[in-house]
Structures are given as structure tokens and as C-alpha cells.
Amino acid sequence: MSAPNTSHQADPSAVRISQAFLKHDWVSVVRLCRQTLRKNGRHLRSHQMLGFALNQLKKTDQALAAYRQAAAVHPEDAELLINYVQILMQEGRPSDAYPVLKKVTALRPDKALSWIHLARSCYPMTLHEEGLAAANKAWELAESVEDKLGALNQRAIHRRELGQVHEAVEDCKAAIALNPADIAHHTNLLLFMLADPDASVHDMAEAARNFGTTFETALKPAWPDHAARREGGPWRRLKVGFISPDFHNHAVMYFAEGLLAQLDRRQFEVWAFDLGTLEDNAAERVRCHVDRHVKLHLKNSVEQAAIIQEAGIDILIDLSGHTGGNALPTMARKPAPVQAFTIGYPGTTGLTAIDWWFSDGITDPPGADALYTEQLYRLPTRWICYRPHSRNPLWRYQPAYQVRPTPALTNGFVTFGSCNNLGKLTDDVLALWGRILATVPNSRLLIEGKNLGQPEFSASYRARCERLGIDVSRLDLVPLDYAKQYLVYHRIDVALDPFPLVGGTTSNDVIWMGVPLITMNGDALKSRMGVGMLAHMGRHDWIARNPDEYVAIASRLASDVDALNRIRLGLRDEVEASTVMREDVYTQEVGNALRFMWMLWLAGSSHPEWTSEQVFAQLETWVGEAPVWPEQEFEVGVAPGERIPLSKAYERLQNMITRAKTDTDETPATATNQMLSKRWFEATVIAERILCAKPHDPVALTALAEIENAHGNHEFGRVYLSEALKSLTPSESVDQLLARTQQYVQTAREYLGEA
């Protein structure tokens, strides 16, 4: 926020206000402004400074009220209006800021800052065409480096949303050239390069290493040696910290929640270092799953690193990589002796402070090690493990989200579809999908995405598709609606993965909903996430090695609707039984990896003069001395800071249901149902807590069936009970599943010519 101009004419009130302002005496500024306005309700300097000072005192509502009144009295004062909208944007109210900024650009059309602010308000409102136009206007007017950076940043983010990914990348490069020390431009560059067809994997690795050189080099001499962490030996219980801004309803949680809940507490104490500000049901669950939860969002990277080091974290795992609000400035300070990265970003961080990247034998093909500054730890299972419905966990078991017959059976035609971020749908992707429509008679293409509900954007997107060879009479554009997540998949027969940046969470979603996925093989993780998922399911025949095969696979799947339906009806069971979703297998192997990483550091740091052969000989000795861990019952986080054995959680759940039923039987029909609803609600919450720690738990599912039946929701009760019965079927052991997975992976690598 810009400080109000403190220059003034000979005005005693303005002088006193300005003097207090220059001292940052915000209490006095507020008092003086209010005193002056009681005498002169139009006093401009008081109106300009009152809201500013109130905001400095964190009295946001009062600041907004003051600015609202000031804007009504002085609607032509652009400086006042700009400070007003900055608080509106700070409070997440872009739709309120937007009309004020339209007035600002009319008042100061020759100022770049006016257009930068307008472009900034357009982004959360998805007005990307207008935002880009405003950013271009700002670039034309920009004279200072600060204004040029603001214009470039806004231009890049709007271009990316409009599919102009390469142009967005070039804007980020220009911004870095102007100011290499601004981390936001590096973050945007690496994010946008993922979807840029002109950016090779080597270009991305170079950009990441440039980031590391810029932000890490000066910090290395001050890295702690962590000598105190060597105490206790190779098999002591380790403190493992996970750091992320995304411990809320975010894509990361689809892959992180099971790990937080199920990592072996005999060996590991789990900490969450939370950089985010959002509070929702997922954030609440994180606090239940972990042993310690620490909020760090109000701390800078120096303070964050100090807190982590003081906590005595042995292994720190970053879950964000080069994404918004990331932890990399903190990781660059090496606050833990062993540091690793996974999930949040499909590529190297460029930091040597991060020792390990969790990988597997298919998503990072042979030779991929050269693309990382981290060492690759290739798990024998998939590098991540998927869990659906992070936003609403119990919806996983509800009727609306059960797999349905393939829609072509009733439609009479096959619908291909994509629900990915539109920024991933490059011209090459859309052109190839047009070939599929031309090859498969009467087929249709469904594309879901942001902004497609806006007539102008939808018309523009349709015109773009037509230019690229898509028959738009067979094109269905569906606006993105998070409330309908998963439901759109009921309309799709075959899902199409974009490239070179393939689907992440979305690809897992569609497979779980029973929709076959066609993916294109690539040369790096960002292009192989679909390959890895399908390989770990044994579905290598849905992996295309080139565009012609992509079309051929689509044609083959569409040619036999009955076979397509059989695939669909069995696909959920198939994916849930595979390593794509077996959290027990995944957490066991991650635990093994963490122990190996710890031992390697311990041996190497204790004896820096040792050769690698000596280090590994020591590891073999330690492995031979592995303790027999005492049996420990699975634990459930039922409340923040409260983890209890599963049997105790069952007991608590049953007591709640018994109490609810008893109260229902004993309460007169005329009495209020508020207390009864509360009893049933409490039972539902504890059942959900159990299922969020241990999906498909039969006791929790049976309890939910009983709760739904007691309320007359018999269809819901039937599905819960069906899921409970299914969960009682013995599953493959960890060893059996890993052996079968390795066969799948070997077959896929032979098919892809990588064996």
C-alpha cells in the first residue's frame, strides 16, 4: 500500500497529522484525523490518512468504513481511491475493488500504477481479457522499474490463463532480468514453463538451478552443522516435519493426507509446519493427523528456519516446490540435517539444500537424475499415493459418486473429455483432439474449465478450437464448478490427458470415477505422471508413444462400447487395489526411505572422511541391527492434538451412537430435535475422523450406515454398508502387491523402449 502524500499547504491540522504519520504514530494519526473531521467533514488530508492509519493498526473493518466514507466525499481523489482498493484486495474483495479501479483509471489514465491495480483486480474475477489489456496499457506507460515489474507480472499471469503460455514465460524472464532478487518471478517462470511446449526439460532444470544460485549461494556459509542431531543413533525415533502453504482444501492434500495420518508413529514423530492462512475442514484434519502443528505464516524465512531448527527436526519434507507461498526460502537455510521434497511441483527445486526427491522407476526414467539437483530416491511403489474427495471425505462413499455405466450406452455416441486447467490445453493438444473427433464418427468432445461460463470467453475459446480443426458442433464447453467436482465425469466415456504438462489430481480423479485415460509418454516427470499411474495399474496399453498412437487408442476404446462399459464398472476396484491408492504400502515404503536417508546422513556426517563404500558398509551393519518394533495399535487423530488407538475410537463412536439412539427413544415427539441432531452429528464426525485416518474402515462405515438409516436415508445407508462389506475382503499383502507392481512397471518400460 502506498503511503498518503504528506505534503500540504499551510494547514495546522494537516501539519500535526503529517508529523504523527512520519513518526508512525498511528494512534495519534487516527485521533487527530477524527478530531479534524468532527470540525470539517471534508478535510482531505484526514480522509486520506484515517483509513491508512486504521489499517496499520489492524483495524481493517474500521479502515474500510473510513475509506468508504472518504470515497463518497472525495470521489475524484485517485490517491485515496488506490489506497482504498488495496485494502479491499488485501481482504479478498476484488469485485468491490474493481469498480473503484475503473474510476481510478479514468482519473489517472496516464499512470501505469492505475492499470496495474486494475489488472490485479481482474485476475481473481477471471476477467483475463480485460486484465491483459490493462497490463498491456500499464507496460506502455511504465517508466520506473517497479511499474515495469508490476506490468510484466500481471501480463504473465493473465496470458497464462488465456493459453498464451510461451508469451507468459517470456514476460517472467523479462521480469527476472529487471530484478533477479524477486522470488515471485522465478516461481511464476518455473510454473509456467511446465506447460510451455517450447521449454525443454533441460531449460526447466537450468531455470531451477538459476533460482538456486540466486537465492541459496549466499546462505550456504551459514548452514548449521546439526551435530546435536547425531545423538541417539541410527534407529532412534525421528522427528519428521512437513512444510507447506497448502494444508487446506488444495490439490496437495489428495496425496499428503494419508502420509500424515499413517506414517509409523513407532519410528516417527510427525510435525506440520503450516505456511498457509486458510482455515477449512482439511486444515482441521491436518491438525488431527499430526503430532505437532505449528503455524508459520506470520514469520519470515529466517524466523521459520530458526523455529524448525529449534524444534529439533531430523528430516524436513517440502510439499510445495515452485508454487505460490512456497517454503523454498526457508529450506534454502538448511534448518534440518536431512531435507526432501515431494508432491507439490513436478520437477527439481534447484536447491542443493534439499537432499532428496521422492521418485519411482517409471515417472523419472533412466537418465532423469541429471535434471535434478536433489538425489532421486526411487520408491518400489508409486512416488505419490492418491486419495479422492479431499474437500468432502464422506462423499467418497455417497451414491452420487458411485461409478455409473458409461454414458455412450444411452447417448448412442462416445464422449471424449478433459477437466484439466485450460492452460495445459495447448494448440498441439487441441489439434490432436480434433483428429480424434474426425476419426471416431459421431463422437463429441467435452472440455471443462474456468471462465467457460462467460459468453465472451466461451465464444473466443470455441473460435480457437475451430481454427485448430475441431468440429465445434460436436464440442461441449462446461464451466468449472467445484461444487460439482467428479460429477462431470459421469458425462465422459474416455478421458484425454493433455501434454507436455499432463494432468495431476484430475487424472487420478477420472480413473477413480471409472473413466479410462489416454496419456502421452514424455521425457520428464511433468509429462509422465499419467504414464506412472497407468503403469502401476498395468494399463500400459492406454499410454501413447506418439500422436498417431494417441488417436489409435482413442479409436480402439470407442469402437466397443460394451467393452468400454465393462472397463468402467471395474476400474474403481482396480485402481483402489493398486499402488496408486494403497496407502498402507506407500507409507511403509516412505518410512523405509526416511530411515535410509537418515542413516546415510548420520554415517556421512559422523565420518566425513569415509568413502561411499565405507558409508554403505556402515548402513549394512545398522540394517542388520534393526530393532524389533513393539506392536502398536493403529492410532486415529480424533481432535487436534489427540491421537487415540483405533479400538478407543470405535468405543467412542459406539457410545455416541448408543447415546443418540437412547435420546431419540426417550425424547417426546414435541421436544426440540436440536440436541438429537447434535448427538448424531458428533457420531458422524468421529466416524469421519476414523475414515480420514484409515479409509474403508468397516466399523466406521457400518456406523455411518446405521446413522443414515436412523434418519431415513436408506440409499446412503445401503452404499455405506456395501463399502463396509467390500472392505472385509482380504487384499494383497504388501510384498505381493509390490511384486505385481514391478511386473507392471517392467512391462510398461519394455513397451516404452526404456527397459
Q: What is the CATH number of the domain that holds 424?
A: 3.40.50.2000
User: pLDDT for 386-443, tens place per residue?
Assistant: 999 999 999 999 999 999 999 999 999 999 999 999 989 989 999 999 999 999 999 9
Is 90 exceeded by the pLDDT of residue 224?
yes
Statement to judge: residues 261 and 129 lie in one domain: no
**748 closest CA partner among 533, 426, 433:** 533
Report the range of poorest mean pLDDT among 10-14, 258-262, 380-384.
10-14
Residues 6+ apart with CB under 8 A from 41: 73
Statement to judge: residues 316 and 459 lie in one domain: no
Statement to judge: residues 191 and 244 lie in one domain: no
User: pLDDT for 174-217, tens place per residue?
Assistant: 999 999 999 999 999 999 999 898 999 999 999 999 999 999 99
Q: What percent of the chain has pLDDT over 70?
A: 97
The CA distance from 213 to 211, in Å, is: 6
Residues 6+ apart with CB under 8 A from 105: 114, 115, 118, 134
751 in a structural domain: no
Question: At 379, which CATH number?
Answer: 3.40.50.11380
Statement to judge: residues 343 and 487 lie in one domain: no
The CA distance from 123 to 85, in Å, is: 14
The letter for the amino acid at 514 is G
Using an 8 Å Cβ cutoff, are 212 and 351 in contact? yes
Residues 6+ apart with CB under 8 A from 576: 512
pLDDT score recorded for residue 669? 47
C-alpha cell at 358: 521422492
732 in a structural domain: no
Statement to judge: residues 619 and 644 lie in one domain: no
SS3 call for 238: strand
pLDDT score recorded for residue 234? 97
SS3 call for 588: helix
1 in a structural domain: no
502 in a structural domain: yes
**189 closest CA partner among 223, 219, 163, 157:** 157
Statement to judge: residues 607 and 706 lie in one domain: no
Statement to judge: residues 240 and 332 lie in one domain: yes
Beta strands in 548-706 (DSSP E): 635-639, 642-645
Burial string for 20-32 (b: 16+ CB within 10 Å, else e) reads bbeeeebebbbeb
Looking at 238-291, list the stretches that DSSP marks H as alpha helix, in order from N- to C-terminal side: 253-262, 281-289
Is 60 exceeded by the pLDDT of residue 674?
no
Statement to judge: residues 287 and 369 lie in one domain: yes
Q: Which residue has the cell 538459476?
A: 210
Residues 6+ apart with CB under 8 A from 508: 254, 386, 388, 533, 580
pLDDT score recorded for residue 725? 93
Question: What percent of the residues of the chain are helix, what percent strand, and what percent coil, each to the nearest 5?
Answer: 55, 10, 35
pLDDT score recorded for residue 11? 85
C-alpha cell at 413: 455416441
Is 80 exceeded by the pLDDT of residue 377?
yes
738 in a structural domain: no
* Main-chain dihedrals φ then ψ at residue 637, nearest 5 degrees: -80, 100
Q: Which domain holds residue 276?
A: 233-385+582-628
37 in a structural domain: yes
Query: What's this model's pTM, rounded to 2 decimal places?
Result: 0.90
Give Rg (Cα) of the chain.
Answer: 29
User: pLDDT for 110-165, tens place per residue?
Assistant: 999 999 999 999 999 888 999 999 999 999 999 999 999 999 999 999 999 888 88
C-alpha cell at 679: 448427538
Which string of DSSP letters, residue by residue, matches 516-575?
-EEEE--SSGGGTHHHHHHHTTT-GGGEESSHHHHHHHHHHHHT-HHHHHHHHHHHHHHH
pLDDT score recorded for residue 212? 97
Span between the terminal Cα atoms of the chain, in Å: 57
How confident is the model over 19-48, as a mean pLDDT?
93
C-alpha cell at 69: 466514507
The CA distance from 376 to 370, in Å, is: 10
754 — pLDDT class (breaks 50, 70, 90): confident
For residue 645, the cross-strand partners are 635
Using an 8 Å Cβ cutoff, are 197 and 358 in contact? no
Statement to judge: residues 437 and 521 lie in one domain: yes
Statement to judge: residues 597 and 645 lie in one domain: no
How confident is the model over 327-338, as a mean pLDDT?
98
Which string of DSSP letters, residue by residue, matches 359-385?
EETTTS-TTGGGG-SSEEEEESS-SS-
pLDDT score recorded for residue 79? 87
Is 50 exceeded by the pLDDT of residue 675?
no
* Main-chain dihedrals φ then ψ at residue 519, nearest 5 degrees: -125, 155
Mean of the per-residue pLDDT values of the chain: 93
- Output the 3-class SS for 200-227: CHHHHHHHHHHHHHHHHHHHHHHCCCCH
731 — pLDDT class (breaks 50, 70, 90): confident
Residues in the chain: 755
- Residue 407 DSSP class: T
The CA distance from 18 to 44, in Å, is: 13
User: pLDDT for 151-160, tens place per residue?
Assistant: 999 999 999 9
Residues 6+ apart with CB under 8 A from 289: 257, 260, 261, 270, 272, 637, 692, 693
Number of domains in the chain: 4
For residue 445, the cross-strand partners are 416, 475
How confident is the model over 499-505, as a mean pLDDT?
93
Statement to judge: residues 595 and 709 lie in one domain: no
The CA distance from 134 to 514, in Å, is: 43
Question: At 63, which CATH number?
Answer: 1.25.40.10
70 in a structural domain: yes
482 — pLDDT class (breaks 50, 70, 90): confident
CA diameter of the chain: 86
The CA distance from 640 to 652, in Å, is: 16
Statement to judge: residues 615 and 496 lie in one domain: no
264 in a structural domain: yes
10 — pLDDT class (breaks 50, 70, 90): low
How confident is the model over 671-696, as a mean pLDDT?
82
How confident is the model over 599-614, as a mean pLDDT?
95
